[in-house]
Amino acid sequence: MSSKRAKSWNAAASRSRHAWTSRSASRIGAVIARYQSEVDIGLQLVLRAVLAGHRGDRTTLTEAWSVLSEPGGEQHTARLHGLAATFCSLLEEDRPRARADLAAALEAERATPTTYHLTGRLGLSLLLRAVDGDLTRAEYDTAVADPAAGLRWDHHFALLASAVLAGAAGEHDVAVQVAESAEVGLLYPMARHLGLRLVSEAAARDGWGDPEAWLRAAEHHFHDAGVPAVAGACRAQLRLMGVRLTQRRSGVDEVPDELRLAGVTVREYEVLRLLGARLANNEIAAQLHLSRRTVEKHMSSLLTKTGLTNRLALGKLATEHTDQCRARERPSGGTP
C-alpha cells in the first residue's frame, strides 16, 4: 500500500471512529438525560406528596403517591410513608394509621437502604412510641446514637421523646428541661405544635410540665392553620384535664397571643382595653352594655389569668397593650 493511500485510509478510519464515538456519546447523553429527568420528576412528586401530607391534604398526597407507586418507585416508599403519610395521619388525629405508616416506612428502609434518613425512625417514631408507653430508655439511647440522629427535624421529636421518658420515670424537672430544649423545632411551626400536642398528653398523664399552656398553644396554632381535627383534640384534652374552655367568637384574633394562651376571652380583653383607657368600672359597663357586677367578674378573672395581684398592675398591663395596639395601627413613617 502506498504511503498516500495509507494516510487516506487512516484518515477515513479516524473519521469513522469519531462518528461512532459521537453517536455513542449522544446515546449515552440521551440515556443520562432521560434518567435525570425521571429522577427530577420523582423528586418533584415526593416533594408534592410531603407538602400535601404536612397540610393534611390526603387527596393530593394520594395522587402523587399513585404515580410513585409504579415500578421503579420503591426508592421513595420509606419517605412517602414516614415523612408524608405519617404526618398526614397525625393531622387527621388517626394515631393507629400513623403508627402503621411508620411501621411501613421502617420496613421499606430495611428492604431498600438509603442515605435519606428523615423517614421517622430517629424522630417521630420515638415520640409516638414514648407517648404510647412502648419505648424503653435503652432503645431510645441506641437510636439517638446514630450519627444521622442530629438532623434538626428528627432531633426535635427525639428530644420530646426523651422528655416523655423522663416524665414517666418520675424525673419531672429533667423532663421539663428537655422539653424546653426542644425549641430546635421552632423552624417547623406545624411540627413544633404537633409535638406539643403529643407530649402534653403524656405530661398530663404523668404530672409534669405545663400541658395546659402547651395544649392552648397547639390549639391556637391548628385552629388558625385550618386543621380542625388536631385543634379539636387539643380542646378535648383540655376538658379532660378539667380546664374550662370558652366558645371561640369573632374578634379572637385581636387578643394578643400571650393573653389568649392564658385563657383571656374576647370580652375580657375588651374590658382590659377600656381599663387601659382609664375608664372606671361603671364607665366600662356603660360602654359594653354590661352590668357593673359583670365587669367586676371580668376584672377578677383577668387578675387570675394574668397572675397579677391588683387592679393597679392590671391597669399598667392594659396601658402597655393599648400603646402596642396604637403603634401597630400607626401608618409606617407617620407622625404621632
- Using one digit for the tens of pLDDT, what is the confidence trace for 189-200? 999 999 999 999
pLDDT of residue 4: 56
Pick from 166, 104, 100, 113: nearest CA to 135? 166
The x, y and z cell numbers of residue 284, run together, are: 366600662
Q: How confident is the model at residue 38 (pLDDT cuts 50, 70, 90)?
A: very low
- Positive/negative CA dihedral, 147, 108, 191, 157: negative
Cβ(81)–Cβ(73) below 8 Å: no
- Provide the sign of the torsion angle of the four alpha carbons 17, 20, 24, 29, taken in this order: positive
pLDDT greater at residue 294 or residue 40: 294
C-alpha cell at 1: 500500500
Q: What is the pTM of this model?
A: 0.66
Question: pLDDT tens digits for 134-177?
Answer: 999 999 999 999 988 888 899 999 999 999 999 999 998 888 88
Give the model's pLDDT for residue 21. 47
Higher per-residue confidence, 135 vs 58: 135
Asked if residues 330 and 336 have their Cβ atoms less than 8 Å apart, the reply is yes
The secondary structure of 235-269 as a DSSP string is HHHHHHTT---PPP-TTGGGS-HHHHHTT--HHHH
Q: Average the pLDDT over 178-199 and give the result.
A: 86
CA–CA dist 249, 228 (Å, integer): 16
